[in-house]
Chain A
Amino acid sequence: MTAARAIALRLLARWETLLVVAIVGAGIWSTTLSPFFLKRANLLDLVTPYIFIGLMAFGLTFVVVAGEIDISIVSNMAVSVVCFAQVFDAGVNVWLAALIGLVVATVLGLVNGALVSVLDLPSLAITLGTMAAYAGLAYVILSGEGVASFPSGYTKIGGGYIAGNELPIALPVILAVAVVLGIVLHATRFGRYVFTIGSNREAARFSGIPVMRVRMAVFAASGLMAGLAGVVYVGYFGSARADAGTGSLLDVVTAVVLGGVDIFGGAGSMLGVFLALVLVAELRNGMQLANIQGDTQDIVIGGLLLAAIVAGNLVRRAQTGRFRVRPLRLGRKEVIAHDAADALMPSKLAPQNLKGR
C-alpha cells in the first residue's frame, strides 16, 4: 500500500507529469480564448510550424545533459540551409543536396565540439563566437534573395498533409525522431556516458569514460540535428535564405529548459523536451488564434522559461534540501574558485569529518 502510494507520488511529482498537466491547462485556457482552438485540423497542425525548433531542441538536449550549451545551433542551421540550397541550385538532386546540408551541419557541430573538448574551453563562449561566425558565413555563402524552386516531392515532408488533408506529414516524422533520440539518450551506453559526464566530469574521467570523444559527439549530434531542422525548415517554408531561423533561439532553449533538462547538466529526458515543445506550440497557437499581440506572446513564453528555471531549482532544492546557486560551469577554475575547501581537500578529509578521531 505504502509502496504503491510512494510510486504514485513519485510519478505525480515528475516534471513530465507537470508538463502534461500544463498542456491540459493551456488547452482549456486556449479553448476559452478562441472557439477555433479545439478544431481537429488545428490540433493536428499545432506543432507543424515548430518542428524545426523541436529538432534543434532535441539536439541541444544532448549538449545540455552533458553540462554544456550550444547557442550556435540556429546559425548552424542557417549555414546548412544555404549550403543545401546552393548545391541544389547548381543542379544536384534535392535529396543528395539535403544530405550535403546534413554533413556540413555535423562538421560545424564537430568544430564546436573540438574547440570545447579538445582545447577544454567554455562552451558558452565558444558557441557565442561560432553563433556570430556561422551567421556571417551563411550570408557569405548565399546573400540576396535565396533559393525557392524546390520540387514539391521534397517540400511535402515539411509542409504536406495526408489523411483528408489534415494530418501534417511532419508530425509522424518528428515523433519518430523523438523516439529514436529518446532511445539513444536513455537506453544506450552512449546516453549513460552523456548523463555521467553532465553530473560529474571528473568522476566520469576517472571511471574510464572517453570524456573527450563523448563531448565531441554531443556537439556533433547537435550539429546533425540543426542540419535535419534545416531540411525540414526548407520543406515547410519552401524558401532557403541566409536569415533562416532568425529569432528562434529563444524557442529552442525554452523547449529544452522547460522540458526539465537541468541547465547545469546531468539530468533531463527526451520525453520532457517533446512535451515542452507541444506546450510552447500550443500556447503560441492559442494566443495566435486569440490575436494576442506578438510582443505579449513573447512575454508569456519568456515568463514560462523563467518559471521553469525557478521551479526546477526549487524542486531540486526540495530534493536535496539546499539551494543550488552557481553559475554555468565554465571549466575547472570555477570549481576551485567556488568551493575552495572541497577542491583543495577531498570532502572525506574535511575538518568536520576528522572530529572525534
Chain B
Amino acid sequence: MKPAAFEYHRPESVGEALHLLADIGDEGKILAGGQSLIPVMNFRLAQPAVLIDVNRLTELDHVSEEADGTLRLGAMVRQARLEREAAVARRSPLLAEAIPHVAHPQIRNRGTVGGSLAHADPAAELPAVMVALDARFRLARAGGERWVAAGDFYRGLFTTALEADEMLVEVEIPPRPGDAGACFLETSRRHGDYAMAGVAVRTTVDGDGRLGQSRLVFLSVGDVPVEVAAGQVTAGEPPSEELFASVARAAAAELDTVADIHASAEYRRHLAEVLARRALAKAAQRAAGESA
C-alpha cells in the first residue's frame, strides 16, 4: 500500500466536517478531489494522521449567479464542471479560459475548485485567476466564518490564511464591469503539465478607447500568485503595442523568478514578459470589442 495509514472520516454535512476539524486540528487533512493530496501521500511526502473526506458534502456543490452578476462557486464544484457551465462562461470568461489549462481532463473530473485554491500550489492556475478576479473566499469553522480576499489568502509556498480548524467552503467572484476584457496565457512543456510561467490579465477600455488600470497576476514565478504594479500605468492611455511591450517589460522586472528543473530563472522571466505582452494586448482587444 502506498499511503501511510490514517484514520478516515466521511462527514455528511459541512457542520459535521467542521466539528471534526475542530476536534482533530493539526493532525487532520481535508480530502477534496485528492488530485494533489493523494499523489503526495502515495510518495509518503505527506502522512496525515486523519483524513476528512468532504466528497459527500453536496451542499458545497453549487454554481450560482446573482442578479448583480456575482458568481458563487461551492468549494466542491469539480473543475471539469466549470468548463461546461454557461454561467461561468458568461460571468467569468477569464476563469473559463484558464480551466482547460488545469492538468488533464481526468484530473479535472475529480479535482475541485476549493481543493486547488486551498492547496496553494504556486504553479496552479486557479489561485492566480482568483487573485486577478478579486474573488473572496468564505472560510468556515465550527461556530463561525469569515471572508478573506484571494489576494490576502496566499501567504507562502503551499501556505494560506486557513487555520487548522477552518475549511474553504465558497468562492465569490464579483461582477465583471461591462467594459472589461481579460486573458489567460501560460506556457508548459507539454499540455497539462504545470506551467513554467503563466499570467492572468484584466483591463478595461472606455468609450473613448482609453485603457483603465490593468491587472497582471502571474503564476509559477514565486511562492504565491504574484501581482505586479506595472499594469497601473495603462490608465488613461490608448492601447498600443509599444505600451503593452513596456508594461510587460516592467512587469517582468518586478518578478523575482527562481530556477528549477523545468526552467531557469532567466527563461521564466522571459516567458513572463512575452506572455504578459500577449495577454495584455488580447485583454485590451476583448475589452474594446465589448465596449464598442
Q: Say whether A associates with B.
A: no
Chain B contact residues, CB within 8 Å of chain A: none
